[in-house]
Amino acid sequence: NCIRIPCFNSSIPVESTSECLAIKLLRSESATTDHDLTGQIIWPVSYLLAHYIASERGQSLVNNMNVCELGAGCGLPGLVASHFAKKVALSDGNDVVLDLLRDNAQNHELVRERKHRTGNTEQGPEIQNEFETASKLFETSKCRISVQKCVWGDRSHLLSIRDVFGCQGADVIVGADVVQWPSVVEPLLHTVKALLWDSKVEKEVAGKYPTFVLGIVKRATSISNQFFELARNMGFTSSKIPAELYLKHGVVPDECKEYGGRITEIYELTLTDRSVPPVMLERDVIIGETYENVLATPY
């Protein structure tokens, strides 16, 4: 399927025609699946995060940066980021989902190369027209895309992703609907902090901090509270991003609305307190490849 994501700019009249990114993805059409295979589906909050990244605000955050998507699934937000970033690492913890993610990354790079070399694609007329609207963005994108396995809390997976960025941290991490169960909160945040540590943005850009952009679904308040409290204790400053900054009229499109009327939102978590180094640069924070036995660790 070809998905079109508008590049919203809040500084120009909303009546103006905006450019769109056209992303071709393989995915499952099923609305329900085993929890380990939810990455085969593009969930509404993934669309919302993709809208954010394609907006003026999102582009300014990821432009020429090293970007990692955690729990990428089909990879929509990360592939949108690849049109502006320097390098993108797409990651997931499930081997079946990783196969789909690799196919999407390879197909995406192939289409970008065809567009760059020949000015067109080998798709049908409808797809050609959609890509034509984004020609400027395709031609200027020189991002390298990598696909990596990442079980949150696994130090070996963490180091493999850092290798993609030249053994330094990511500048921006994106994740859609990754805060679902209490047992994942601690290993997720430890992974995020360790991935953002020693990023080039904090060395080269005055006043900017490495950032975790989170697309979240408001399900259980207790889990959200647990996540943001732990994030604060680990040195993150959290801000909810008003929809007006990345959506036309601030109106959430239908494809971004969660089933059952649950609220979907975008948060930016910046790593502003570096007083305590991440423990994952030294050791794992999970036992085995499950999130059921999370170790109690200092932040």
Length, in residues, of the chain: 299
pLDDT at 46 over 70: yes
Report how far residue 63's alpha carbon sits from residue 48's, in angstroms, rounded to the nearest whole number.
Answer: 19
Alpha carbons 82 and 172: distance in angstroms, whole number: 12
Contact between 2 and 127 (Cβ < 8 Å): yes
Enter the tokens of residue 223: 């889990």
Residue 97 burial by Cβ neighbours in a 10 Å radius (0-12, 13-18, 19+): buried
Write down the CATH number for the domain with range 2-281. 3.40.50.150
Neighbours of 21 (CB within 10 A): 24
- Which residue, chain included where needed, has tokens 């053994």? 167
**pLDDT tens, position by position, 134-143:** 333 433 457 8
Query: Among candidates 69, 215, 85, which has minimal Cα distance to 149?
Result: 69
Q: What is the DSSP letter of 13?
A: -
Give pLDDT, residue 169.
Answer: 93
What global pTM score does this model have? Answer: 0.84
**Which residue would you say has higher pLDDT here, 123 or 214?**
214
User: Which residue ranges make up each domain of the chain?
Assistant: 2-281
Burial class (CB in 10 A: 0-12, 13-18, 19+), 13: exposed
Backbone angles phi, psi at 236, to 5 degrees: -95, 145
Q: Is the pLDDT of residue 182 over 70?
A: yes
Say what the pLDDT of residue 208 is. 87
Q: What is the pLDDT of residues 88-116, one digit of tens each?
A: 999 999 999 999 999 999 988 767 666 65
